[in-house]
Structure 1
Amino acid sequence: MEFAVLGTLMAREGNVDCTPSAPKLRRVLATLLLRANKLVLTETLAEELWQHNPPPTAMATLQTYVYQLRKSLGADGRDREGMIRTRTDPSGYVLNVDPEKVDLVRFRSLLGEGRRALEEHRPERASDLLHRALSLWQGPVFGGVRSGPVLEGHAAYLEEERMNALELRIDADLRIGRHRELVSELKSLTVTHPLHEWFQSRLMIALHLSSRRGEALETFHRYRHVLQEELGLEPNHEIQQVQRDILNCEPTSWYGIDRVYPSVR
């Protein structure tokens, strides 16, 4: 059975959609998938479902939800009793699944491999792995689920992981000379995230390496103006160093990412 949380919540066995339709069951499934093959405490599930005000019958109701979820995951006629195992000490549930069938697990595995490849100076390999990792994202995480505090917190964390993967992938693509292809993507990212200094600096680099030095410098001045107007701050040292390198026409260090990128993120 395949599961997805990086977009619309989905549980599928071949062509059979086993995703529960009831809102509370979807929240239970999403919470269990966050820690696939690991124990999820009943307290965690109760917090997600009822926040800090569980009803007196919370544990019995939760047992009913798990029973219904097992039935939903058995929509293809198979016995799913062993898929969600009950633990009593400590009290909780374990969703037993093939890790390769969960998009979140695959994403984190590819992200880790891509990061290591970049640290080992294998940018082509890193680019391929990170492109594959990001392709698993099909929309906002936990799509179609009315999230409670547990899922909302994890959604913010997962979005940070996605942004980290995106930054690493852009680094890898810059290292293998894809600066021209990156310009339009980075322009879009700087519009969506106008105060994200990392995207601004990489747009400047991509523009300059594409023989668009004037636009690169305009990007810096525009960002500096926005930063001063919005927060009363000056750009940090790294992006100012990028500006100085562009003014001095020193692009060679950028291919090695040693000067402009003091450490691999």
Structure 2
Amino acid sequence: MRTPQGPFQATLLISLLVADGRPVQADDLIHELWGNGRPTHPDNALHAHISRLRRVLEKLEPEPSQSRIISRPGGYQLALDDASVDALSFVSEVSDIEAMVDHMPPQEAAGQLRQVLDRWQGPIFGGITGGRICQASAKRYEETRLHACTMLFDAELASGHHSAIIAELRALLTSYSGFYELHCEQLMIALYRSGRQAEALEAYRQCRDVIDHFTSRPPSMRLRRCEHMVLVQDPRLTEDPRRAVLTAL
């Protein structure tokens, strides 16, 4: 296995990969590599890094018909041919499951989602932050992962596996994200359905404090409604197999 040497080559390869076979303008690649601290002759410096990366890729394919990196007017393109990029496949598979999730048994949905999520290993791009291209793509992939987790835990709740997902939800809630309140709601319901009402209310209080810290606003009406339902032991929390009962109230 060969990997690009150094952050410049790695960032360059990532920027070309996430374009999914489309050309990337040289100016965008220059900004991605150097930001505002670009070298005196950025086009020459970029071309040098492209040449080095070409050599790395050529060693992976001893007899390629042509270089994987193709020069285009004003930029460069990574020819994928029939190759696939794991991250792009991940996004596509999550989208396919989302389109079918309401029409399949929850156990089947959970199984498919776990299979897709099992492919997620380590930090995005190996921890390389890059510039705006890498960062925008990393944000997209992370949001897709969190959305897949939301669908997964909905399916597990609908399957009656509330106790089994408590630890996973707690682990997910160690970092704040745009999905934080949804996952907090799922944790509260999982705890409540497991006969742990006091812990469900404590989970709400902890989440409320985190939301206040990051946003300086109270929790959403939906999350507060979930707290009220737990407080009054609303039977709908256990009678309806899906978390979506809350959206109808």
Give the CA deviation at 1:47.
Answer: 0.7
Q: Distance in 2 between matches of 1:35 and 1:162?
A: 19
Structure 1 residues 100 and 177, CA gap change in structure 2 (3 angstroms): farther
1:84 is the counterpart of 2:69: yes
Query: SS of the residue aligned with 2:164?
Result: helix
Which residue of 219, 226, 250 corresponds with 2:236? 250
Q: Alpha-carbon deviation of 1:231?
A: 6.0
Task: Quickly say closer, same or farther: Cα 1:226–1:73, change in 2 above 3 A.
Answer: closer
Identify the residue that residue 34 of structure 2 maps to in structure 1: 50
Cα distance in 2 for partners of 1:259, 1:170 equals 14
Deviation at 1:227, TM superposition (A): 5.0
Paired position in structure 1 for 2:87: 104
Which one of the candidate residues 159, 167, 174 is aligned to 2:157? 174
- Structure 2 equivalent of residue 142 of structure 1: 125
Matched to 1:184, the amino acid is A
CA-CA distance at 1:230 after TM superposition: 7.2
- CA 142–194 in structure 1, closer or farther in 2 if over 3 Å, else same: closer
Unaligned runs of 5+ in 2: none
Q: Does 1:200 align with 2:184?
A: yes
Identity of aligned residues (%): 27
Maintained 8 Å contact 2:186/2:243: no
Q: Using CA pairs under 8 Å that are at least 6 residues apart, name the structure with larger relative contact order, 1 or 2.
A: 1
Contact 1:36–1:99 under 8 Å retained in 2: no
Between Structure 1 and Structure 2, the one with more helix by share is 2
Cα RMSD for the two superposed structures = 2.7
In the alignment, is the contact (CA less than 8 A) between 2:68 and 2:80 conserved in 1? yes
SS at match of 1:259: helix
**1:106–1:133 contact (8 Å) kept in structure 2:** no
CA distance in 1, matches of 2:197, 2:147: 27
In 2, Cα distance between equivalents of 1:144 and 1:257 = 34
In structure 1, the partner of 2:146 is 163
Measure, in 2, the Cα distance between the counterparts of 1:118 and 1:228: 33
Q: 1:237 aligns with which of 221, 232, 236?
A: 221
Shift, 1:93, TM fit: 1.5
What is aligned with 2:197?
Answer: 213
Point out the more displaced range, 166-175 or 123-132: 123-132
In the TM superposition, what is the alpha-carbon distance from 1:99 to its structure 2 partner? 6.0
Q: CA deviation at 1:250?
A: 2.4
Cα gap change, 1:41/1:120 in structure 2, threshold over 3 Å: closer, same or farther? farther
Higher normalized strand content (fraction of residues)? 1
Distance 1:112 1:229 in 2: 32
Q: Which amino acid aligns with 1:260?
A: L
Structure 1: segments with no counterpart, 5+ residues: 1-16
What TM-score results when the alignment is normalised by the length of structure 1?
0.79
Deviation for aligned residue 1:242: 1.8
Alpha-carbon deviation of 1:200?
1.6
Aligned residues, how many? 244
